[in-house]
């Protein structure tokens, strides 16, 4: 079973959270009936793929193959675990840990494909399977981690690990198994174990329902526009795409603006019609709390209470304390201290930015002889572009003709990786695809050997969840002789017809970011599947991907890909300079909207079960939480509001702070790279050898120290986000208050 204690990934993927950490470590479930010969016939999951690097046979996989493979795989897996647990010989590394690492092959093949497809190309059959099996997967995980005989063997190895003669990676593997089993409830009484099983089963089902509700309501909440005149500000290409979206919904002659999963919606930066911007914003923030069939408030309340109860049972005061004990942060107090240091400066900057936007509004309205209006959330992006143009003679639309997607990927993202690491990419058309809108590449090392296969899935579609993420179909392991098959997923609107895909700057940096995760998987060079690729703490996993963003505007990289899609002319130097000059522009907004969500996550998960409200109090709790931590600035709502905050219903519960925590390491690393020569093979090879290749085989912060020789320092992050002046000139950081009582 591809490291069984990643069975916790079942909860991550079922709930639909971003799968930056690889998802090959598949969840398992109790089952006793093996697949019969008929169900095995032609089912690709019952044998190892014959394609290069065990790439999945997407051309042979059918939805009806999953259930038999799940059932047979679970039964097979439990037999393997029973054989380990019941072995009469004393526990050794070779007869206990190694077979655990190798177990669950059938289940691993089926679930890695299934959960990846649920995220990127779901359908009714897959949604039903997801709902039907979520509780079974949780139960199967419990059947393994709560097996007392198995835990006794692991504990014996843990207690005697110093005398086993193992190398450092193997010792760490024993330690991680022990920790994961304990955190999964292995030390609980039988009565407590039964309650824990019930909590895990119910939580899994609720997580599935939450994620399916989010996707359904995103599609249902699309804005229908009757008159093209209301779309003033959008490009011809965007208008055509809106018309096609309406036609696909049976509304020919109208226009549909689809929603992304974030609170902010990209068209709001362009639409001149303020009433339409308001409609778009209100539709976005109402998701999950409208009292309809997709209302998620009751689910949020129940899941938060279940998590709090489970944490108490396992010996922690709150779910946040439970989660953070196994992260680099270690405690809620450490997270609170960092967020409290950032919040006042971020909100202060946002208010200054808001004042500039209000001044722009006032001037415009006065020039038109019309009464002014108060800056609202649906005005922010629109007037930000106006202020940007006013201050820098620059707006985002000037960039897009120079940011054609294939050029960004191949001449930007790939080119940077070649310059840094010496690797090369070769597109191939012979491998099957799960969707036609995907591109597949061989990744070749500097010596010409194959490192990995990379799948690029850029476009938004109704069957795909929102956001951007990386996942793995096959993870690297020396023990099993496997090399990575990894994928990046974006949600870029697909243009109509044969029009080129022109990207925003945010989409460009996201592409570089996600490829940083891919590199973490591609360069993995560990012995044991448990440690492969991105199997690191949540508050460390974003660090390598954030570092990779630095190459998006690195002069030689930018010059190589930023070329006009029609003429091939390079982006003018003046425009290049403006990209760099505006790097800190609007950072008050960006930091505040992120911190709003990160602090909300902590407030939900630092609460005890008694402090968590019922469904009717969820939105009041959210409002009180934002006010308590000082980020209740109305024009800048959280990046995600609670009822559509998929991250924290899945793998980032009590962990959404991880992006900013990792960014501290990122900012330190970027400074180190710049001071040591910038874009060089020496720097790339060092980053690969000391960090990217190590996966979770060493302590995460030690990996950072191995690369940089430094201790983390928050100052470079403050400078990067333009928050230094506000920290030095403003009030001292405000402490994060205790969770407010709920009436």
Catalytic residues: 514
Spatial contact of 174 and 161, defined as CB atoms under 8 Å apart: yes
Residue from 184, 356, 213 nearest 294 by CA: 213
Decide: residue 573, CB within 10 A, 0-12 exposed, 13-18 middle, 19+ buried: exposed
Q: How far is CA 214 from CA 9, 132, 455, 645, 674, in A?
A: 19, 18, 25, 9, 41
φ/ψ of residue 295, rounded to 5: -65, 125
Q: How big is the CA angle at 69 (ends 63 and 70), to the nearest 5 degrees?
A: 95
Phi-psi domain of 326 (left: phi exceeds 0; alpha: psi -120 through 50; beta: other): alpha
CA distance linking residue 368 with residue 371, whole number of Å = 9
CA distance linking residue 599 with residue 614, whole number of Å = 20
CA distance linking residue 655 with residue 658, whole number of Å = 5
Spatial contact of 492 and 459, defined as CB atoms under 8 Å apart: yes
Beta bridge partners of 469: 489
Strand 439-444 vs strand 469-474: parallel, antiparallel, or unpaired?
unpaired
Collapsed DSSP state (helix, strand, coil) of residue 501? coil
The span from the first CA to the last CA of the chain, in angstroms, equals 46
Question: How remote is the C-alpha of 263 from its chain's centroid?
Answer: 16
Q: How far is CA 562 from CA 457, 492, 495, 545, 624, in A?
A: 21, 18, 19, 21, 45
Q: The tokens 């400066």 sit on which residue?
A: 345
Beta bridge partners of 223: 257
């Amino acid at each position: 079973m591809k490291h069984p204690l990643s069975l916790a990934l079942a909860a991550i993927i079922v709930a639909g959270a971003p799968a930056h950490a690889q998802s090959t470590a598949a969840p398992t479930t109790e089952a006793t009936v093996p697949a019969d010969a008929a169900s095995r016939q032609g089912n690709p999951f019952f044998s190892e793929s014959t394609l290069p690097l065990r790439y999945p046979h997407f051309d042979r996989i059918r939805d009806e193959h999953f259930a038999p493979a799940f059932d047979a795989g679970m039964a097979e897996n439990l037999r393997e675990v029973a054989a380990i647990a019941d072995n009469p010989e004393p526990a050794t590394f070779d007869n206990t840990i190694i077979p655990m690492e190798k177990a669950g092959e059938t289940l691993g093949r089926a679930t890695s494909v299934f959960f990846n497809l649920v995220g990127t190309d779901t359908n009714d059959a897959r949604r039903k399977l997801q709902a039907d099996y979520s509780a079974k997967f949780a139960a199967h995980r419990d059947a393994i981690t709560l097996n007392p005989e198995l835990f006794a063997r692991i504990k014996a190895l843990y207690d005697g690990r110093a005398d086993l003669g193992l190398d450092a990676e193997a010792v760490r593997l024993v330690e991680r198994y022990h920790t994961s089993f304990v955190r999964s409830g292995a030390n609980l009484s039988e009565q407590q174990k039964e309650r824990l099983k019930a909590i895990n089963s119910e939580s899994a089902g609720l997580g599935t329902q939450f994620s399916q509700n989010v996707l359904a309501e995103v599609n249902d909440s699309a804005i229908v526009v009757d008159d093209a005149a209301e779309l003033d500000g959008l490009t011809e290409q965007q208008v055509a795409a809106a018309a096609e979206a309406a036609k696909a919904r049976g509304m020919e002659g109208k226009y549909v603006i689809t929603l992304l999963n974030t609170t902010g919606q990209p068209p709001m930066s362009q639409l001149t019609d303020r009433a339409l911007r308001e409609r778009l914003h209100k539709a976005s923030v109402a998701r999950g709390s409208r009292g309809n069939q997709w209302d998620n408030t009751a689910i949020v309340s129940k899941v938060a209470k279940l998590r709090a109860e489970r944490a108490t049972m396992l010996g922690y005061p709150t779910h946040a304390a439970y989660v953070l004990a196994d992260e680099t942060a270690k405690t809620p107090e450490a997270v609170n201290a960092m967020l409290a240091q950032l919040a006042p400066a971020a909100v202060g900057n946002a208010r200054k930015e808001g004042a500039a936007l209000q001044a722009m509004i006032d001037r415009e309205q006065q020039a038109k002889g019309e009464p002014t209006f108060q800056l609202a959330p649906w005005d922010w992006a629109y007037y930000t572009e106006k202020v940007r143009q006013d201050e820098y003679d620059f707006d985002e639309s000037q960039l897009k003709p120079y940011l054609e997607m294939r050029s960004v990927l191949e001449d930007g993202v790939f080119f940077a990786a070649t310059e840094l690491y010496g690797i090369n990419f070769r597109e191939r058309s012979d491998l099957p695809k799960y969707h036609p809108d995907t591109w597949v590449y061989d990744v070749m090392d500097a010596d010409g050997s194959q490192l990995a296969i990379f799948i690029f899935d850029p476009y938004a579609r109704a069957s795909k969840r929102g956001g951007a993420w990386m996942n793995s179909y096959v993870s690297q392991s020396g023990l099993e002789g496997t090399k990575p098959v990894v994928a990046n997923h974006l949600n870029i609107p697909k243009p109509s017809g044969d029009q080129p895909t022109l990207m925003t700057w945010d989409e460009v940096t996201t592409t570089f970011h996600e490829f940083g995760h891919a590199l973490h998987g591609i360069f993995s060079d560990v012995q044991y599947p448990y440690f492969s690729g991105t199997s690191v703490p949540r508050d460390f996993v974003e660090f390598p991907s954030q570092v990779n963003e630095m190459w998006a505007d690195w002069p030689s990289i930018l010059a190589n890909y930023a070329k006009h899609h029609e003429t091939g002319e390079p982006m003018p130097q003046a425009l290049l300079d403006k990209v760099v000059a505006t790097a800190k522009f609007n950072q008050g907004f960006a930091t505040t909207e992120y911190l709003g969500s990160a602090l909300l996550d902590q407030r939900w998960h630092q609460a005890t079960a008694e402090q968590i409200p019922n469904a009717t109090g969820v939105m009041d709790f959210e409002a009180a939480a934002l006010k308590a931590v000082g980020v209740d600035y109305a024009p800048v709502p959280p990046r995600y509001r609670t009822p559509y905050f998929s991250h924290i219903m899945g793998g980032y519960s009590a962990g959404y702070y991880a992006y900013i925590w990792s960014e501290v390491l990122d900012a330190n690393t970027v400074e180190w790279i710049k001071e040591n020569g910038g874009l060089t093979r020496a720097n790339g090879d060092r980053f690969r050898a000391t960090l990217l290749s190590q996966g979770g085989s060493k302590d995460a912060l030690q990996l950072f120290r191995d690369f940089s020789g430094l201790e983390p320092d928050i100052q470079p992050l403050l400078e990067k986000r333009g928050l230094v002046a506000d920290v030095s000139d403003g009030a001292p950081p405000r402490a994060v208050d205790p969770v407010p009582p709920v009436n």
